[in-house]
Chain A
């Protein structure tokens, strides 16, 4: 049976991608950011997920104002890097997992989440920067990735609670998928930042640190926070943090925080990274067979 083993949340600042693409990661300015992700990289190398479900947002790359899906799940076999105005990022094509993605779409829609299905979609830095931060810059990404795009560009984005509940629906869907897969859910974006208007440059470390604390310990309470608080406290673009609730909702109520990193700034933005493991340890890959798939779940998947 498929199982979500952990959540991995990280900012997805475009300048981080540019630093990687321009090989500036060892500059002192960027070293401060990248060194903070070394432990996260090691953790995920050890965790060896079979699939990543990555919750992210597009930044006027694949989606313009012509079509604004609140939640879109990528069910394609592959997702090419998007043109971002200065050429696509030189990163590998992101391979999907169409079977699991379609299963999640089916299950979530029947569960009340009217997801948009994306069978052709390009992905921008919102998705690929967190992949770099987790996996470095390999010739190909180590596992399939299911992108879930969330609108956080036009207000209102989905509420924190709705995002959390989508995480719950994803968890339910995964639990009824018959194949033995170990899955890590990525939440991306944030942390506090504002890049628009005269208030640009806003950073609120106190808010960000409290957000990280509550994400672990009080996820439902945190998910109830209204949009206006993100906007006031964490900047108009800090609203991206709602995407972290999808990740959190996909995990158990009680989780173990295994790593956290926070630094200011990367360009205009506060950078955060947190890794939360489900406490009920899933069977390791080698012994995963003991969790026999339930027939009932199989039927539901069909």
Chain B
């Protein structure tokens, strides 16, 4: 148990990330099964015809229902949705993974696309909310070409500040 607790704390320390662990999976079962149902065209049609009514089949909490209806993708993840599932809702609306990613970061599609072309969001400043893990763990990046934690800022201005 102690290990599970410290693992959860570590997960929660990662900025801008909702880790889909067993607890979230349990809470989000309804959201994810709803999204899974959208794999079938007849279900997509039924959902589009009356979204709130269709959602009643999946025993969502009021918060979850609200997040789905508002297409609040971050909130869906926070309440137990998983991106591979919620992406099916995105696809139903005609949106790609990248479109959803841009939405979740609060960027415009153009800004997000540019950030990716420039090398993506830098990890610098994006490792840890608490600041305890601002540098890479020694073994992760140091071997075999031993170089200490890179301090140099990435060429792209990308960081979570972008949002």
Contact = CB atoms under 8 A, between A and B. Distances in A.
B38 to A, nearest CB: 7
A217 B144 CA distance: 8
Of A59, A204, A214, most B-chain CB atoms within 10 Å: A204
Contacts of B131: none
A282 interface: no
Contacts of A221: 139, 143
A154 B22 contact: yes
Interface in B138-154: 139-145, 150
B141 A153 contact: no
Interface in A224-247: 225, 228-229, 231-233, 236-237
A268 B98 contact: yes
Interface residues of B, number: 66
Contact of B74 (A195, A198, A228): A198
Interface string A158-186: 00000000000000000000000000000
B17 A65 contact: no
A contact residues, range: 35 or more
A280 interface: no
B140 A60 contact: no
B112 to A, nearest CB: 6
B52 interface: no
A276 B19 CA distance: 32
Most buried by A among B11, B84, B116, B150: B84
B20 A201 contact: no
Contact of A155 (B20, B104, B105): B20
**A153, A155, A201, most chain B CB atoms within 10 A:** A201
Contacts of A236: 14, 17, 19-20
Contact of B116 (A83, A154, A155, A268): A268
Nearest to B18: A197
A112 interface: no
Given A64-B32, A198-B163, A200-B104, A15 B97 contact: yes
B36 interface: yes
A36 B104 CA distance: 30
Given A14-B97, A65-B25, A196-B18, A232 B128 contact: yes
A128 to B, nearest CB: 16
A104 interface: no
Contacts of A15: 96-98
Contact of B77 (A155, A197, A232, A270): A197
B58 to A, nearest CB: 12
Interface in B29-62: 29, 32-33, 35-36, 38-39
11 contacts: A85-B88, A197-B18, A198-B160, A200-B102, A201-B121, A207-B136, A214-B144, A232-B14, A232-B136, A236-B17, A268-B120
Interface of A: 14-15, 59-60, 64-66, 83-86, 153-156, 192, 194-207, 210, 213-214, 217-218, 221, 225, 228-229, 231-233, 236-237, 264-265, 267-268, 270
Interface of B: 7, 10-11, 14-22, 25, 28-29, 32-33, 35-36, 38-39, 74, 77, 82-85, 87-88, 91-92, 96-98, 100-102, 104-106, 112, 115-117, 119-123, 126-128, 133, 136-137, 139-145, 150, 158, 160, 163
